[in-house]
Structure 1
Amino acid sequence: MAFGTLDGDDDEVMSEINMTPLVDVMLVLLIIFIITIPVINHAVKIDLPRATNQPNDTKPQNINVVVDAAGKVYWNQQEVDQPTLEANIAQAAQMEPQPELHLRADRDVRYEAVAEVMAAAQHGGLGKIGFITEPKR
């Protein structure tokens, strides 16, 4: 800001404020607000879900398949052979909604036995397989 007089003789200080920078700043702020206000008021359309009083679909019971260290397969705590396992999987795949297969394998079992159960589930039509593990002790 400029303070002073044009005459070098006077020792008086000119106490007028230079308004030009203040007007420049105000014009810049006005332009910024004019540009940003339409953006702030822009609304996003959202399709909210409708509330219903119908009960939710219940989840089907999960199927527990266990493969022990010897490679034996258990379907819900009952020992089954390969043809029976495939028949049970095909029957479970026909259920609506489809149950989830929970596969628990012993730490010492060969991967081949686990892969056979997973392949039977895939060929039988079961879409969801969950693996159950236990933490180390």
Structure 2
Amino acid sequence: MAVKLSNNVAGQLGGPVSDINVTPLVDVMLVLLIVFMVAAPLMASGVKVDLPASNAKPLKEEKLPIAVSLDGEGKIYVDKNEVSKASLVAVLKQASEGDLERRINIRGDKALAYGKVIETMGEINDAGYSKIALVSEPSKQ
């Protein structure tokens, strides 16, 4: 008489067990989930930075960078000439002679809202310029 054994019965009788125990895998995944849930907000917060003053050393460039300045009222200047927001990209292309690798320094007034500086930086970046820097004054310490 042949007895047909299932996998569980075979395991109890000393035969091979084909069931996989997933409990340790689930435990490890839950621990990793908790670690990432705790660490994610810490990575997004960043570090407080005082942009208007720093101890950064000036960059050495072969070509002089183009200066884009924003005064306290939000007016935009390329070098020392006032330009409208609509003509900023055209003036930059003319000043850089079409060189999209030319460095552009953005000088934002301390009293100006940070969003205006970032908005101008985004417009310059959308025009194809990738070397954009924020300029700050050296700290007085």
Q: Identity over aligned residues, as a percent?
A: 29
Q: CA deviation at 1:135?
A: 3.5
The gaps in structure 1 that reach 5 residues or longer are 1-57
**Paired residue for 1:20?**
none
- Normalising by structure 1, what TM-score? 0.50
Q: CA deviation at 1:83?
A: 1.2
Larger Rg: 1
Matches within 5 A, 1:4-83: 59-83=62-86
Residue by residue over 1:109-128, the C-alpha shift from the partner in whole angstroms, topping out at 9 and shown as x without a partner, is: 01121012111111100010
Answer whether contact 1:67 1:105 (CA < 8 A) is retained: yes
Bigger relative contact order (CA 8 A; separation at least 6): 2
Q: 2:129 aligns with which of 97, 113, 126?
A: 126
Segments of 4+ in structure 1 off by > 6 A? none
Answer whether contact 2:100 2:130 (CA < 8 A) is retained: no
Answer whether contact 1:60 1:98 (CA < 8 A) is retained: no
Output the CA distance in 1 between the equivalents of 2:100 and 2:88: 20
Number of equivalenced pairs: 80
In angstroms, what is the RMSD of aligned CA positions?
2.3
AA matched with 1:119: G
Answer whether contact 2:72 2:112 (CA < 8 A) is retained: yes
Against the structure 1 CA distance between its residues 74 and 67, is the aligned structure 2 distance closer, same or farther, given a 3 Å change threshold? same
